Amino acid sequence: MHIRPKTLRQRLMSSPIATAVKRVRYGRFSTLQKATEGMLSPAVYRHIYRTALSAPDLDTIEVGGAGGTGSIAFAWAKIDGGMSSRHIVVEKLEGGSRRRYGGYEDNLDRFTRHLADFGALDRVRLFPHHLTRENGGELLELVETPRIAGFMSDADGRIDRDFALFLPMLDPAGFIIVDDYHPTRSWKQALVYRLLNRFIEWKLFVVGEQLSSTVFGRPHPEADVSRIDPAACAEILESIRVDFGFAPDSTEVALYLS
Ligand SMILES: C[S@@+](CC[C@H](N)C(=O)[O-])C[C@H]1O[C@@H](n2cnc3c(N)ncnc32)[C@H](O)[C@@H]1O
């Protein structure tokens, strides 16, 4: 397997001094991020925790759980907030960024071990599959509260699928977190950037804070999922294919919204 050498910035950020500074500044979120090799920064995990802590006591959903770092931050918020709701995590557990940790069973063990190590196991339910339009209904069956308090999209860039599935269930006082919002860094980030900008125009999403490429926001008060236009989403996917030479199959967009 080819492993890219670290950039100077990455080397500085992982130096012993930088690690000590982060530990003082972000406390348990820094320890968590390091121990579980979280893909986001301790600052982002702390903000996820704070967002979930101030949300209604309703189930939450995260698409793209990786090694469980964000899932633990969500679970901590529910535990510390005295909530009874649970956090539902979608993770396919193989391929892509999971390959470096082995196959499906290795990733499942790793995810479960991290949750157990950080006291989050009984607050999280895992949907251990590749999320598609076809199995989206099965995922929603895991929700045990009348609505959801929020969702986080951090998987394959297909936020059109996630908005279409989850927006109708979202509490008006809830939150939406979207990672990978950047215009040019990769096809996935550009896809998220173009789709989310369109969702803002369509009055589905209101931006709150942005930490690096993670956007924290809430549903628009007039949010209506029928305003997601499959043809416009397909055009955006096609624009990514043209600009980057790759994008997931645009015919899926119509399926997700049908
Ligand atoms: C960037 S990582 C998520 C990082 C994670 N939120 C964290 O806190 O460290 C993206 C993850 O999404 C998963 N993934 C991508 N597409 C998916 C899909 N359609 N269904 C389920 N999981 C998916 C990948 O396996 C990967 O682990």
Does 28 fall in a domain? Answer: no
Can you read off the two tokens belonging to residue 193?
């950037």
pLDDT digits (tens), the chain, 258 positions: 445 567 776 677 677 777 777 777 899 999 999 999 999 999 999 999 999 999 999 999 999 999 999 999 999 999 999 999 999 999 999 999 999 999 999 999 999 999 999 999 999 999 999 999 889 999 999 999 999 999 999 999 999 999 999 999 999 999 999 999 999 999 999 999 999 999 999 999 999 999 999 999 999 999 999 999 999 999 999 999 999 987 665 455 444 443
pLDDT digits (tens, 9 = 90+) for 149-178: 999 999 999 999 999 999 999 999 999 999
Does 16 fall in a domain? Answer: no
Q: What CA–CA distance (Å, rounded) separates 183 from 239?
A: 13
Contacts of 187 (CB under 8 A, 6+ apart): 157, 240, 243, 244, 245, 246, 247
Minimal-distance CA residue to ligand 1 atom 13: 64
From the CB of 119, is ligand 1 less than 6 Å away? no
From the CB of 96, is ligand 1 less than 6 Å away? yes
Residue entry with tokens 């982060």: 22
**Nearest-atom index, ligand 1, CA of 95:** 25
Can you read off the two tokens belonging to residue 149?
């308090």
The pTM is what?
Answer: 0.91
Nearest to 229 by CA among 249, 189, 258: 258
Q: What kind and span of H or E run contains 199?
A: helix 187-201
Q: What kind and span of H or E run contains 18?
A: helix 16-26
- Alpha carbon of 98 to ligand 1 centroid (Å): 8
Read off the CATH number of the domain in which 164 is found: 3.40.50.150
How many domains are there within the chain? 1
Minimal-distance CA residue to ligand 1 atom 6: 65
From the CB of 66, is ligand 1 less than 6 Å away? yes
From the CB of 156, is ligand 1 less than 6 Å away? yes
From the CB of 69, is ligand 1 less than 6 Å away? yes
Q: Tell me which residue range forms the domain holding 165.
A: 39-257
End-to-end CA distance of the chain: 40
Q: What CA–CA distance (Å, rounded) separates 241 from 151?
A: 27
